[in-house]
Structure 1
Amino acid sequence: MKIKLLFTLACICAASNLFAQAQHSTEIGVQTDNDSYLLQGSDRYYTDGIYFYYRHALSTDGNDNLKNKILGFEFGQKIFNPQAGSVNIDGRDLSYLVDRPFAAYLYVGSTLNFLYSNESNLKLGAQLGIVGPDAFGKQVQDWVHSTFGFYHPSGWEYQIKNDPEINLSAEYNRLLARTTGVDISFSSYGNLGNGFTGAGLGFLLRLGNFNQLFNSVSTQSTASQGDKITPLHKHELFFYYKPLINYVAYDATIQGGLLETHHEAGSQEITLDKEPFIFSNQLGVDFTTNRFTFDIAAIVRTRDTKEMIRSTHQWGTITGMYRFK
């Protein structure tokens, strides 16, 4: 009897260990951005964002250089305000108050992430969306402020007009150097579309227990399929710093739709001049469990428009993912 009991316990422990280390090919999750997360009492510029993700790892059999390949789908919304979410003119200059246009961007998109054995990756994406009243920025902000007892927003009559968007993107990252507990990677991206066109480059510094870039939260590649991946750590837990220099060729949330006619008679739309170069800093912590992945970070950016009163703006971002299958 004791032998049977010990054998049963051994089998349970073995099965538990196998389950704990099993690879999961699918993950779902949500990301939420808001400037209030930094507890500074601000409600300006990029003030709120919500994103839903679905990612599934595809087979890489027959390609020894390709360690992981992930197909993703996403749905999201971004909301932008001027220096305050409530514009009360009262004889003041409207051009001073609205130093970044009221705008919202609503989209659906897909990505395909190729992750290679040399710890480089190429992530391609496409989005279909809309900027303007049909992106429901006013309605969402009104609901949030009413639900949580905040002030009533005003000024959305000046928002960017409706404009359908088709936007393409590409992201490339590559490991530069690694030692115990520290590594540094090159990071870059490019956007092309009638909504957003530009590019950026910088680096990613990680400190702690992290995995290779083909199977890490850093490259949205914690889902995997097959047995080609042996991670450095069972669980990731690390701090990171990511500075980027961004070139902005066009931004529809600032300049309005690329093909739209602006400032015609009767229009209250306010468009402004984008800053061509923006510097951003992201500081955060990532950690994973057998099933869950979390990212918590703060982002600080220099001004988006030439008219912005504040020289910088900042927000917090929280992402949670759940893996299964």
Structure 2
Amino acid sequence: MTTCKAIRWLAALAPLLAGVLPPAAARAEDAVTTPAYSRGTLAFIIENDTFSGNDRYYTNGFLFAWASPSGAPPGWTTRLTSALAPFFPAGGTPRWGLAFGQKKYTPEDTLLRNPDPKDRPYAGWLYTAFTLSSNTDTTLAVAELQLGVFGPSALGRQVQNTTHDIFGIDRAYGWSYQIKDEPGVNLVLARQWRINRPVNDDLAIGLIPSVAASLGNVQTYGSVGMTFRVGNALDADFGPPRVRPAAAGSLFFEPGETWGWYAFAGLEGRAVGRDISLDGNTWRDSRSVDREDFIADASFGAALVMPRARLTATYTIRSKEFTAQREAAQFGSLSLAFRF
């Protein structure tokens, strides 16, 4: 599946939109009367294997997400994060958020009308998510509840083939054999730590260790990871936002009054107990493959942090997820976020 033209347009538009919105320093009068970051952060994330020149395995995902502002959080968020200590750090800034996303999976050969039963099954996952987070200067904790549907009702076939028609690409013909409809629920808990050290007045280096766990009929796993960063905007966030199960940074960001940047590279390992896109339906027969129990992601990329926007690009190499998989999966991610 490809959305290259739309992605290039989105990436080109980001600096223009950031330039239209004056930086906080240029709006001193507004700063006196209106708290900065008073309406939260809106972000769009798209992941696609087109960046690797292939159309297979985890082929596409997108996520629209909103995170509440840091100032004057609702009382219930403070009470809830306090009640769930020590998972949420003491003295942290609570936020809540909403998200809507879709993920699609296909086998290696998408021209077969009856796909190879040893290849990855066709599958789609359409979901909403409610998040609760709290962060200090050095720690971020996130609890995320995902609710949705896996199967034909996730509209993976319609979205992929319509997009292929628009861009003049061959359709994927085996969607009739996709994993069947099943309601899905996941509870994800994640914790990250931010360790930054200045090199000089204009540059810093940092590490972001992370742990995460997911429990549900869609994905059950535990993960550990580490991200290395270098740049002059390391305090703006906890790394680039991603679509789970990849190591996700922070949807929100806290930029300075000038433009900043950082480059990053990371590794994450996951022990997987269940993945419906590989294991098939929970309560009835469907296509499935023999899943690998341990998966590793290697990612690298860069972030451009503007006074009111953040643009990030990530490339990920994912180890084999099922025993008959011939090669590692590769895909790229782009994220564009705005503060309001």
- What amino acid is the match of 1:203? M
- Of 16, 40, 48, 2:26 maps to 16
With 49-58 and 137-146 compared, the bigger mean Cα shift is at 49-58
Asked if structure 1 preserves the Cα contact closer than 8 Å seen for 2:192 and 2:209, the reply is yes
In structure 2, C-alpha distance between the alignment counterparts of 1:221 and 1:191, rounded to whole Å: 21
Give the number of equivalent residue pairs: 290
With 80-89 and 55-64 compared, the bigger mean Cα shift is at 55-64
- Following superposition, the deviation at residue 158 of structure 1 comes to 1.3
The answer on 1:70 being equivalent to 2:95 is: yes
Counterpart for residue 322 of structure 1: 338
Asked if structure 1 preserves the Cα contact closer than 8 Å seen for 2:234 and 2:262, the reply is no
- Following superposition, the deviation at residue 278 of structure 1 comes to 0.3
Asked if structure 1 preserves the Cα contact closer than 8 Å seen for 2:263 and 2:301, the reply is yes
Counterpart for residue 275 of structure 1: 292
When residues 289 and 161 of structure 1 are mapped into structure 2, their CA distance, relative to the original with a 3 A threshold, is: same
Deviations 1:23-81 (A, max 9, x none): 3131212111111123x2x1000001111111112436999953532211100000000
Partner SS for 1:86: coil
The answer on 1:95 being equivalent to 2:117 is: yes
- Following superposition, the deviation at residue 177 of structure 1 comes to 5.4
- What amino acid is the match of 1:316? G
The answer on 1:79 being equivalent to 2:104 is: yes
In structure 2, C-alpha distance between the alignment counterparts of 1:29 and 1:73, rounded to whole Å: 11
The answer on 1:286 being equivalent to 2:303 is: yes
Asked if structure 1 preserves the Cα contact closer than 8 Å seen for 2:222 and 2:271, the reply is yes
- Following superposition, the deviation at residue 253 of structure 1 comes to 1.1
Alignment of 1:130-279 (within 5 A): 130-176=149-195, 178-180=197-199, 181-212=204-235, 218-222=249-253, 234-258=258-282, 260-262=283-285, 269-279=286-296
In structure 2, C-alpha distance between the alignment counterparts of 1:190 and 1:84, rounded to whole Å: 32
- Of 311, 314, 319, 1:297 maps to 314
TM-score for both structures, normalised by structure 2: 0.78
**Percent identity between the two aligned chains:** 25
Which one has the largest radius of gyration?
A: 1
Counterpart for residue 9 of structure 1: none
When residues 20 and 172 of structure 1 are mapped into structure 2, their CA distance, relative to the original with a 3 A threshold, is: farther
- Following superposition, the deviation at residue 251 of structure 1 comes to 0.5
- Of 140, 146, 161, 1:127 maps to 146
Asked if structure 2 preserves the Cα contact closer than 8 Å seen for 1:210 and 1:238, the reply is yes
Partner SS for 2:277: helix
Counterpart for residue 8 of structure 1: none
In structure 2, C-alpha distance between the alignment counterparts of 1:81 and 1:160, rounded to whole Å: 11
- Following superposition, the deviation at residue 16 of structure 1 comes to 1.7
Counterpart for residue 27 of structure 1: 41
- Following superposition, the deviation at residue 197 of structure 1 comes to 0.5
When residues 43 and 161 of structure 1 are mapped into structure 2, their CA distance, relative to the original with a 3 A threshold, is: same
- What amino acid is the match of 2:212? Y
In structure 1, C-alpha distance between the alignment counterparts of 2:67 and 2:155, rounded to whole Å: 26
Partner SS for 1:94: coil
- Following superposition, the deviation at residue 169 of structure 1 comes to 0.2
Partner SS for 2:59: strand
- What amino acid is the match of 1:275? E
When residues 136 and 88 of structure 1 are mapped into structure 2, their CA distance, relative to the original with a 3 A threshold, is: closer
- Following superposition, the deviation at residue 214 of structure 1 comes to 6.1
Counterpart for residue 313 of structure 1: 329
In structure 1, C-alpha distance between the alignment counterparts of 2:175 and 2:105, rounded to whole Å: 10
Deviations 1:169-190 (A, max 9, x none): 0110113452321111211111
The answer on 1:110 being equivalent to 2:130 is: yes
Unpaired runs of 5+ residues, structure 1, are 1-11, 224-230, 263-268
Deviations 1:84-128 (A, max 9, x none): 222256xxx9335xx1110000000111111024x0111110010
Deviations 1:224-244 (A, max 9, x none): xxxxxxx77844300011110
Asked if structure 1 preserves the Cα contact closer than 8 Å seen for 2:23 and 2:257, the reply is no
- Following superposition, the deviation at residue 205 of structure 1 comes to 0.5
By percentage of residues, which structure has more strand? 1
When residues 177 and 30 of structure 1 are mapped into structure 2, their CA distance, relative to the original with a 3 A threshold, is: closer
TM-score for both structures, normalised by structure 1: 0.81
Deviations 1:232-281 (A, max 9, x none): 784430001111011110011111232x121xxxxxx3111211000101
- Following superposition, the deviation at residue 153 of structure 1 comes to 1.3
